[in-house]
Amino acid sequence: MIEIKTLISHEMESGQRRDSAGKPIPRKIINSFTASFNGKTVFQADWHPAISANPYQSFFYKVKESGEFKFVWKDDDGSEYSSTNKIAVA
Amino acid sequence: GPLGRVAAQQRLTEADITRFDPLGTVTLVHVTDIHAQLVPLYFREPSVNLGVGDAKGVPPHLTDQEFRAHFKVAAGSADAHALTSDDFASLARNYGRMGGMDRVARLIKTIRAERGADKVLLLDGGDTWQGSWTALKTRGQDMVGVMEALGVDAMTSHWEFTYGETRVKEIAETSKIAFLAQNIRDGEWQEPVFEPRKMFEKGGAKIAVIGQAFPRTPIANPRWMIPKWEFGLREDDLQKQVEEARADSADLIVLLSHNGFDVDRKLASRVKGIDIILTAHTHDAMPGVVKVGETILVATGSHGKFVSRLDIEVKDRRMTGFRYKLMPVFSDAITPDAEMAAAIEAIRKPYAAELAREVGRTDSLLFRRGNFNGTFDDLIAQSMLAERDAEIALSPGFRWGGTLLPGDPITFEAISNATAMTYPACYRMEMTGQQLKDILEDVADNIFHPDPYFQGGGDMVRVGGAGYAIDVGKPAGQRISDMTLLKTGKPLEPAKAYVVAGWASVNEATQGPPVWEIVEKYVSRVRNVCLEPNRAVKVTGA
Amino acid sequence: AFAAAALAPRLAIADPKAVEDELKKLYAGKPMAEGRVKLDVPQIAENGLVVPVTVEVESPMTETDYVKAVHVFADGNPQPGVFTFRFSPECGRAAASTRMRLAQTQNIVCVAEMSDGSLFTTKAEVKVTIGGCGG
Ligand SMILES: [Mn+2]
Ligand SMILES: [Mn+2]
């Protein structure tokens, strides 16, 4: 079993703040994180505006075979950020 | 009583202070909360030190007569002067100043010589690098040098962090003194930032020293100075440290803690296997240990006033006996260590003229320590009200800063001893009556919460220009009432904005002149300071 | 030594009902048991903007018996939802961590849904404070 720790740089604008002119700053957050291994989703998180800036996510995975992790972060604006990491079982 | 009167004339000699019937093979020597006081000073212990919840009315929450009765200290005696507050000025004139790192050095050398240096472990509980002008100007370097020269084996910390991450790391990585803190993590990946513990061999015993930095540092002090680090109590991790140390064949487990006394008392009942907790932060000084189960707690006071000696007998890999003495550092009785005295003089030389600058005089005893406003706090508050043209002043309830006797000059050094720190800006802003009450409630809950794990270990924020009533026994949000603007005698209105001056804000980029400038300006203008004890705070529920 | 210039309204009222409403939407009032869920949050937040939170649920995490989801709510935030974690048997261990923002002292409520549909819950209070002074 391994613990996987992820971090992405993002301001996670909550939609609750106001700018210096008093106007509400629109919400713009990453609303979901998905981790898949060799194409199969193994862990997923829905994030609400209460998640801190530069969101951190850790979870566990029981490694049985070599393969590739893919992490996908989905932004409110529709964009997606992804990263892949290979894991080799000796 | 009559005993007190006889004892009053009885000064201690150096031999009285160091006299100790040795026990076992290990000696722990503890100093803590020196707050960078290199030279002897007066420091008045609190007259009000309320305990709440289980700590109500038990040590260290005893003052004056109750304290003396509990610890069998004669009124008027040297120990009474060192440990209690009443009759402070006259006893101070008889017994002189306390502390001075050259005197501390002498005591430690004596202990090492008598005992054998291979049996003595010297531990520093932290709050060492902050509290004086020379420490501020050298960013703690003066104290690092002094503590290294003393031969400190390990330290933990709190105010040290107010020099920022880079500076603390730099010293921790280069100093001969092990900088121990099991409860600090890098916020990004939760990696430990400092060595959690270190094993020492003394007198044939293996002693594991675990460091515990002040768990609430990022709340009580500016988080922006240590943005990458997370603190906290971390009891589970501490328990693991204890177990790992035992597995690593430690005979004795010592927690070098900066939790504060009441927090450590609770912790001792929950974390198993600690033999000794050397407490700090709350500045309590007790001439005896407190036992919680199998764990003994030591409280060594502050400002270099005391050195604790704890002899320990170790048999079959466990503590089988101990003997303790809280040694008062009476500066007139103890011969200064010549080397240390020379080092201190060299440290102070570049600043000597500034430090000696006489700004004014005081007709009153000026002190800070106690749960509520002391006269030194009132002086700082008065200065802010006058020099920043404010209606209300807020001054933090720090437990550091020296005492001045009636008739003493107010030097720049005396002012800096009560104010020298890295976020001194004296701000001026508007706050509503409601905001002021909320601040007082929030701070009060950090002092009088019945669960010590929610206590921050300081004193109540000092208020100038306004009075209030506090019922310390009430729950959060219900303790403060009757907030009154003193100049009008009218209640503070929740919705009305008041001009407030204060210092030591934990916010980044707080604007304003350093508070020592404000105090110096005020004192040099009034010249003679005369302050009655503060009667604007009404305390109930104790 | 408090953050005088950054005072949030401190006595804002937490709203447990908002959390109940969210749970009703998810599980329509289905009963929940105490136990099996461990919520690890600090008693006192060092920084209300970054409060570490770890959830762990007792479960064998097999194909037939695993933790499907864990929801966390904060009853004193402007919106109660904080996150939902969705586990799979491949996780091996139903434990995960993130960091959250808390506007004030409040309760954190955690609900775990098992693969058989049963629900478990726990809660913890986190104190958000301006700090007070120091020794
Ligand atoms: Mn401290
Ligand atoms: Mn201190």
The conformation of residue B93, written as its DSSP 8-state character, comes to: H
Nearest to C75 by CA among C110, C109, C101: C109
Of A16, A49, A62, the CB nearest to C91: A62
The conformation of residue B351, written as its DSSP 8-state character, comes to: G
Q: Which residue has the higher pLDDT, C10 or B206?
A: B206
How much is the average pLDDT of B494-516?
96
* Adjacent-strand bridge partners of B325: B309
Please compute Rg for chain B using Cα positions: 22
pTM: 0.94
Q: Which of B26-35, B206-215, C123-132 has the lowest mean pLDDT?
A: C123-132
Tell me the pairing of strands B318-328 and B480-485.
unpaired
Instruction: Name every residue whose Cβ is closer than 8 Å to that of residue B449 and which is 6 or more positions away in sequence.
Output: B52, B53, B455, B476
Q: Do C1 and B458 touch (CB under 8 A)?
A: yes
- Ligand nearest the Cα atom of residue B33: 2
Map residue A9 onto helix, strand or coil: coil
Q: Do A52 and C51 touch (CB under 8 A)?
A: yes
Q: Which tens digits make up the pLDDT trace of B339-378?
A: 999 999 999 999 999 999 999 999 999 999 999 999 999 9
How much distance in Å is there from the Cα of B150 to the middle of ligand 2? 19
CB B457 within 8 A of CB B397: no
Tell me the pairing of strands B26-31 and B120-124.
parallel
Q: Is the pLDDT of residue C15 over 90?
A: no
Cis peptide before B60 (omega within 30 of 0): yes
Residue B104 φ then ψ, to 5°: -60, -40
Quick one: pLDDT band at residue C22, thresholds 50, 70, 90?
A: very high
Say how far apart CA C47 and CA A18 lie, in whole Å.
20
E strands in chain A:
2-7, 30-37, 40-47, 56-61, 67-75, 80-87
Q: How many CB atoms lie within 10 A of CB B21?
A: 7
Q: Is the pLDDT of residue B497 over 80?
A: yes
How much is the average pLDDT of B448-459?
93
Q: Which tens digits make up the pLDDT trace of B53-69?
A: 999 999 999 999 999 99
Say how far apart CA B486 and CA B484 lie, in whole Å.
6
Quick one: pLDDT band at residue B265, thresholds 50, 70, 90?
A: very high
Say how far apart CA B52 and CA B371 lie, in whole Å.
12
How much distance in Å is there from the Cα of B148 to the middle of ligand 2? 19
Rounded to the nearest angstrom, the gap between the alpha carbon of residue B124 and the centroid of all alpha carbons in its chain is: 12
Of A43, A46, A60, the CB nearest to C83: A46
Q: Which of residues 278-297 of B touch C (CB under 8 A)?
A: 280-283
E strands in B114-204:
120-124, 154-155, 178-179, 185-186, 197-202
Q: Which tens digits make up the pLDDT trace of A19-75?
A: 889 899 999 999 999 999 999 999 999 999 999 999 999 999 999 999 999 999 999
Rounded to the nearest angstrom, the gap between the alpha carbon of residue B318 and the centroid of all alpha carbons in its chain is: 31
Q: Which two tokens stand for residue B451?
A: 């669960």
Tell me the pairing of strands B306-315 and B295-299.
unpaired
List the subunits that have 3+ CB pairs under 8 angstroms with A.
B, C
Map residue C89 onto helix, strand or coil: helix
Q: Is the pLDDT of residue B1 over 60?
A: no
Cβ-based contacts of B189 with chain A (< 8 Å): 5, 7
Q: Which tens digits make up the pLDDT trace of B455-489?
A: 988 899 999 999 999 999 999 999 999 999 999 99
Q: Give the pLDDT score at C5.
A: 40
Q: Is the pLDDT of residue B8 over 60?
A: no
Rounded to the nearest angstrom, the gap between the alpha carbon of residue B146 and the centroid of all alpha carbons in its chain is: 18
Q: Give the pLDDT score at B9.
A: 65
Residues with CB under 5 A from ligand 1 (ion): B 127, 158, 281; C 135
Average per-residue pLDDT for chain A: 95
Distances (CA, A) of B210 to B237, B319, B330, B373, B423: 11, 17, 31, 35, 30
Average per-residue pLDDT for chain C: 89
Q: Is the pLDDT of residue B34 over 50?
A: yes
Q: Give the pLDDT score at A90.
A: 76
Cβ-based contacts of A17 with chain C (< 8 Å): none
Count of CB pairs separated by less than 8 Å, A with B: 4
Q: Give the pLDDT score at B532.
A: 87
Q: Is the pLDDT of residue B508 over 80?
A: yes
Task: Please name the amino acid found at residue A40.
Answer: K
Nearest to B79 by CA among B3, B1, B15, B8: B8
Q: Is the pLDDT of residue B261 over 80?
A: yes
Handedness of CA B387, B389, B393, B396 (dihedral sign): negative
Q: Which of residues 12-31 of C touch A (CB under 8 A)?
A: none
Map residue B179 onto helix, strand or coil: strand
Q: Give the pLDDT score at C132.
A: 65
Q: Is the pLDDT of residue B3 over 80?
A: no
Q: Do C1 and B218 touch (CB under 8 A)?
A: no
How much distance in Å is there from the Cα of B159 to the middle of ligand 1? 6
Q: Give the pLDDT score at C9.
A: 40
Q: Give the pLDDT score at B60.
A: 97
Fold topology of A2-87: Immunoglobulin-like (2.60.40)
Q: Which two tokens stand for residue B439?
A: 């601040």
Quick one: pLDDT band at residue C6, thresholds 50, 70, 90?
A: very low
Q: Give the pLDDT score at C2.
A: 53
E strands in B300-408:
306-315, 318-328, 358-362, 392-397
Q: Which of B3-12, B192-201, B315-324 has the lowest mean pLDDT?
A: B3-12
Q: Which residue has the tokens 């109590």?
A: B233
Residue B274 φ then ψ, to 5°: -85, 130
Q: How many CB atoms lie within 10 A of CB C10?
A: 18
**A18 reaches C (C-beta below 8 A):** no
Q: Which tens digits make up the pLDDT trace of B134-143?
A: 999 999 999 9
CA geometry: angle B223, B228, B230, nearest 5 deg = 70
Average per-residue pLDDT for chain B: 96
Q: Which two tokens stand for residue B461?
A: 């924020």
Phi-psi region of B189 (alpha: psi -120 to 50; beta: other; left: phi over 0): alpha
Cβ-based contacts of C96 with chain A (< 8 Å): 43, 45, 57-60
State which H helix or E strand residue B103 sits in.
helix B101-115
CB C95 within 8 A of CB C75: no
